[in-house]
Each structure stands twice: as C-alpha cells, then as structure tokens.
C-alpha cells in the first residue's frame, strides 16, 4: 500500500496550516472524513495566523469555528463562520465564557503546549463535547519539552476506562457487555476510544458501553 494525500491535506497546504507540516492531517482525515457535513461546532485553542481556522471553515461547510488565543491581534482573523475569543487558556473565568458556546463536536488544543494547560484543556472541554464529539491534543511529549510524558501518561490512563469491566463479574456476562450497573464514573461511561499518534492524541466521546447496540440482549419472546 502507498500513502496517498487527501482533501484535508490539500486544504492545509492551501491555507498554510502547520498541521500539514507536522504530518497531522492524515490522522485528522482518518477520523473526520465522514463527519464533514455533520460537524456543527469546532473549537481550536491557538489561532496565531488563523490558518487552521480557515482550513476548518472550508472543511466543515455547516460548522461555526471558534478560536481561542491570548494574543489580542488574533481577533482580526474573525470573519465568515470564524469567531475568535481572546483570553488565556489557563483562566477559568475566560474558559467559562467560551464554554457556554458549546457543546462542541471537535475541540483541538494547539495553544500554549504547557503540560498543565493541556491537562486543564482536556478536563475543561472533554465534558463539553457533544455526545460523539472528539478532543484532539496536538504536540505531546518531547516535541514540547514534556520529556517525562506527563500528558501522555495522563491520557494513557484513559485506556483503562475504555476497557472497563465491572469488578467481580464473570467475563462475557451479556448484560455487562451492553450496559453498566452500579456506580460507574462519568469518564468511564463517556470515553469510548483513544488514538495515539506521534505527538498527537485523539480522545473520542460516546456512550460506553451503549455504543455497541448489537450487544444488547434480545428481549425474550412473548409467549
């Protein structure tokens, strides 16, 4: 098999998005290609030249594109379906003012790249995604001097939630394949997948385990 370019990469080149240079767009394409018409609301932390916001605007024809940046000059990139909110991604009051624009179908953190900001961005925005929304963390690990992989390790822990099995139940017991009983944390119910790429992580929100309707046991036939 050969690697082929895709329409999102072409838009990345057209608008000069750094995501294209980082080779991230092949992974965005994999996860977003079937959602173009469906996505209504995108939020990206980190506006800078506005290149990626313009790319998203063209890629998602039905979406409002929100950008966050600490640099007031970025306000000039607000036009068409692009809205720019000026503030610090570490400021709770500012974040609350943006949150009420949600729910968001896609949130991308390409802002300060400081590990504690990245974790805060996930904790703040993941719960504000729409039910099948996607959170993307760009630039993780050594590429932003997180040599101890603090952020990667925090996100790696999510895989335990994806693979949750109620303690004490025999494996493959049908009701637990299709629904959880008892006190299961919100994050366990809502993270349905995590995809790690080089310096890039996607976290998928959904309804765990209800997103697998084929496993719902058929009701007993009425006699």
Ligand X SMILES: C[S@@+](CC[C@H](N)C(=O)[O-])C[C@H]1O[C@@H](n2cnc3c(N)ncnc32)[C@H](O)[C@@H]1O
> Which positions lie near ligand X, rule CB under 6 A?
17-19, 44, 46-49, 51-52, 68-71, 88-90, 110-112
Residue 95 vs 203, nearer CB to ligand X: 95
By the 10 Å C-beta count (0-12 exposed, 13-18 middle, 19+ buried), 129 is classed as buried
User: In the complex, what is the shortest distance from the CB of residue 107 to ligand X, in angstroms, rounded to a whole number?
Assistant: 12
Cβ proximity to ligand X, 28 vs 164, nearer residue: 28
Provide the minimum distance between the beta carbon of 72 and ligand X in the complex, in angstroms, as a whole number.
10
CB of 57 to ligand X, least distance (A): 12
Q: Which is nearer to ligand X, 67 or 133 (CB)?
A: 67
Measure the CA–CA gap between 135 and 108, rounded to whole angstroms. 6
* CA quadruple 178, 183, 185, 189: dihedral, nearest 10: 10
Residue 185: count of CB within 10 angstroms of its CB: 9
191 SS3 class: strand
**Cα 20 from Cα 15, distance rounded (Å):** 10
Smallest distance from the beta carbon of 5 to ligand X, in angstroms? 18
Q: Which is nearer to ligand X, 51 or 192 (CB)?
A: 51
Around Cβ 3, how many Cβ atoms within 10 Å?
Answer: 6
């Amino acid at each position: 098999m050969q690697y082929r370019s895709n329409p999102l990469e072409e838009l990345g080149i057209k608008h000069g998005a750094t995501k294209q240079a980082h080779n991230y767009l092949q992974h965005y394409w994999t996860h977003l290609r079937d959602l173009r018409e469906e996505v209504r609301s995108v939020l990206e932390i980190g506006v800078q030249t506005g290149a990626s916001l313009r790319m998203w605007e063209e890629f998602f024809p039905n979406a409002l594109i929100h950008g966050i940046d600490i640099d007031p000059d970025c306000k000039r990139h607000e036009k068409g379906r692009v809205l720019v909110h000026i503030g610090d991604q570490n400021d709770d009051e500012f974040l609350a003012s943006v949150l009420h624009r949600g729910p968001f179908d896609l949130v991308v953190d390409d802002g300060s790249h400081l590990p504690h900001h990245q974790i805060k961005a996930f904790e703040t925005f993941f719960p504000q995604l729409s039910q099948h929304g996607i959170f993307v963390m760009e630039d993780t690990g050594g590429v932003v001097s997180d040599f101890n992989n603090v952020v990667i390790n925090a996100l790696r822990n999510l895989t335990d939630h994806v693979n949750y099995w109620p303690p004490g139940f025999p494996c493959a017991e049908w009701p637990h394949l299709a629904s959880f009983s008892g006190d299961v944390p919100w994050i366990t119910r809502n993270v349905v997948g995590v995809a790690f790429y080089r310096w890039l992580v996607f976290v998928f929100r959904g309804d765990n385990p209800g997103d697998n309707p084929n496993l719902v046991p058929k009701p007993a036939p009425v006699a």
